[in-house]
Amino acid sequence: MADFNTIDDFDVENKTVLLRIDINSPVDPNGGFILDDTRMKLHSPTIKELSEKGAKVVILTHQSRPGKNDFISLKEHAKVLSKNLNIDVLYIDSIFSNEAINKIKNLNSGEILLLENVRFFSEESLNGSVDKQSKTLLIRKLSPYIDIFINDAFATAHRSQPSLVGFTKVLPSGAGRLMEKELTVVENSFKNVERPCVYVLGGMKADDSIEVIENVLKNESADYILTTGIVANIFLLGAGVDIGKVNKDFIKERGYYNLVEKARYLLKTYKKNIIYPKDLAIEDNGKRVDVSIDKIPNKYIFDIGVETIKEYAKFIRNAKTIFANGPAGVFENSEFAIGTEDILNTIANSQGFSIIGGGHIAAATNAMGYDMHMNHISSGGGACITLLGGKKLAAVEALKNAKK
């Protein structure tokens, strides 16, 4: 039995249900068109179920953040969502204006209303306690017209913002189907891990990945960590490898140079468990060149090398559980997509239970056609890696407290 409520715990017929989802999507900078509707597809089962059960569904979500080119209204999202659901999704360009409140009050059973980008409301950008967020204008304005709050936004569950945690203090609250699935799959795999368990960690968010490495090795829930991307470069530095000034400077620019000492400590403590590349790929005259780690020129590292790919494939093929987060290199460039593609191909063809983190690694998995061969692709990289790092998700804790 879950320690938070789900849709099963409520009779939603003729009830006004506020549904928080995360359909933050890539947008064409010129035309404002949605380029990828993956997240809308992931939330569709929750929306459809509520609608089919006769709920009056009010959707709250966000797109990007202030100052970015894709910080736009949700008018286009409503159109794409309508196509995905095969149901007409109503849209209003406000969040809690009198017009929006009247729309909510006049909804019929089964109807779906999408409110405007919640981040247009400045208080939404503030993090704070559940008690503090429950007193914000958003919650005070909307909650009198809502019967039940359902949070399905796993991808944003690590944030403690008004729309994610505030309603749990004042309304009966539960998790949507996507949130429920994410927590069940990730937490069960983490707690009941089948061995050997291999983590493949790369990408650009080195601080999160190194926190995960420390957590899973300390808890003895992982057998091997295969490092790629900037994570690998930090461990190479920790192992005393000269990766070249440009790569050192890049790590410093990202604010990660302080992690080299942590990497050195982890290598000393878990020498047999942490595997770093034996060769890497650089660019020379526009072409990929693989070099041994003892002969790295002062050029940017863009991928792991072929010998490393072969070595990593052996670990993955023997694994019973595989967690992968972050691409191995600059996969957007075909010359340097080899590491990411070969790792995903090996995971897809392995016998192990595979979990792919969200963000760029999920995008690469979908783009390269391996999505149907993975056991679980997370909708949220930040939330997923927060869980694996042994931290609690603010929005999930709020749901647990709401049940209590």
Q: Is 177 annotated as a binding residue?
A: no
Residues sharing a CB contact under 8 Å with residue 274, sequence separation 6 or more, in sequence order = 213, 217, 224, 225, 227, 235, 266, 267
d(CA 1, CA 9) in angstroms, rounded, equals 11
Residues sharing a CB contact under 8 Å with residue 289, sequence separation 6 or more, in sequence order = 281, 282, 283
d(CA 68, CA 119) in angstroms, rounded, equals 12
Q: Is 332 annotated as a binding residue?
A: yes
Q: Is 161 annotated as a binding residue?
A: no
What does DSSP assign to residue 115?
Answer: P
d(CA 263, CA 274) in angstroms, rounded, equals 10
Q: Is 360 annotated as a binding residue?
A: yes
Q: Is 65 annotated as a binding residue?
A: yes
d(CA 232, CA 202) in angstroms, rounded, equals 7
Q: Is 24 annotated as a binding residue?
A: yes
Q: Is 22 annotated as a binding residue?
A: yes
Beta bridge partners of 57: 17, 112
d(CA 226, CA 224) in angstroms, rounded, equals 6
Q: Is 62 annotated as a binding residue?
A: yes
Q: Is 202 annotated as a binding residue?
A: no
Q: Is 376 annotated as a binding residue?
A: no
Q: Is 23 annotated as a binding residue?
A: yes
| Class of residue 112 by CB neighbours under 10 A (exposed 0-12, middle 13-18, buried 19+) | buried
Query: Which residues sit in the known binding site for (2R)-3-phosphoglycerate?
Result: 39, 119, 159
Query: Which residues sit in the known binding site for substrate?
Result: 22-24, 39, 62-65, 119, 159
Query: Which residues sit in the known binding site?
Result: 22-24, 39, 62-65, 119, 159, 332, 358-361
Query: Which residues sit in the known binding site for ATP?
Result: 332, 358-361
